[in-house]
């Protein structure tokens, strides 16, 4: 029974790693669709969100069955509950990638990102890619030091987020729809990074049993 239990835990971890890689790919493709006004790529991202939702449901079901049938305690229970919360966080990250893609699709054939903030969004996309890759590796390896590195990436995303807001406030207002798009997109990337930090903190908690102050 214990072997079957640990096999189930390993399976859940594998699902989370797969889910995190898919989410990272979604955000990368959504960013490309956004910056290049690529409607087909945006459509593909939107459609792939169904797979994220499906994996999330599978993880929740597997974790619930483990709790009901095995009644884990202490560290084991912490692992199962953390897996459920991480899965929910990843699902929300998929939603954010989908929002970026929907914005790109909505403004096609024009770009939703005006030239005055294009450099910031280009770098935000790069930071999101870097954070997404580290997140997937952390979930698979439980590498605490790598998890802690995510803090610096999040700081950079926050700085870019503030830069975009400063530009919006300091320059002559453009079309209302454009300002709304930029404001929302800015928020999507910032929230995506926050979710990566949340995942990293949960992994650190699992490994060392202490709340991280990432």
Residue pLDDT, tens place only, 73-123: 777 888 899 999 999 999 999 999 999 999 999 999 999 999 999 999 999
172 within some domain:
yes
Q: Is residue 45 part of a domain?
A: yes
Tell me the residue range of the domain where 65 lies. 2-208
CB 32 within 8 A of CB 122: no
The predicted pLDDT at position 10 comes to 87
State the pTM of this model: 0.93
At residue 7, the pLDDT reads: 84
Where the chain has pLDDT below 70, the residues are 1-2, 210-214
CB 103 within 8 A of CB 34: yes
As for how many domains the chain has, the answer is: 1
Query: How far, in whole angstroms, is CA 20 from its chain's centroid?
Result: 7
Is the residue at 132 inside a domain?
A: yes
The answer to whether position 214 is within a domain reads: no
- Is residue 105 included in any domain, yes or no? yes
Evaluated on CA atoms 58, 60, 63, 67, the torsion sign reads negative
Of 3, 23, 7, 5, which Cα lies nearest the Cα of 199?
23
How far, in Å, CA of 78 to CA of 203, rounded?
11
Question: Does 213 fall in a domain?
Answer: no
Task: Tell me the CATH number at 76.
Answer: 1.20.58.220
Q: How many CA atoms lie within 13 A of 136 on its CB side?
A: 16
């Amino acid at each position: 029974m214990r072997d079957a239990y640990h096999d189930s835990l390993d399976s859940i971890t594998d699902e989370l790693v797969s889910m995190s890689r898919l989410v990272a790919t979604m955000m990368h493709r959504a960013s490309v669709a956004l910056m290049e006004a690529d409607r087909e790529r945006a459509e593909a991202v939107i459609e792939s969100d169904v797979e994220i939702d499906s994996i999330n449901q599978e993880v929740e079901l597997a974790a619930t069955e483990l709790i009901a049938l095995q009644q884990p305690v202490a560290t084991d229970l912490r692992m199962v509950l953390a897996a459920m919360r991480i899965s929910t966080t990843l699902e929300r990250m998929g939603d954010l990638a989908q929002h970026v893609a929907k914005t790109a699709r909505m403004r096609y054939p024009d770009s939703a990102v005006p030239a005055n903030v294009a450099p910031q969004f280009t770098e935000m996309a790069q930071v999101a890619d870097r954070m997404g890759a580290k997140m997937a590796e952390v979930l698979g390896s439980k590498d605490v030091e790598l998890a802690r590195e995510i803090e610096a990436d999040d700081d950079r995303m926050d700085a870019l987020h503030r830069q975009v807001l400063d530009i919006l406030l300091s320059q002559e207002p453009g079309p209302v729809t454009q300002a709304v798009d930029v404001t929302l997109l800015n928020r999507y990337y910032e929230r995506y990074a926050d979710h990566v930090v949340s995942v990293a903190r949960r992994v650190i908690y699992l490994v060392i049993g202490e709340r991280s102050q990432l």
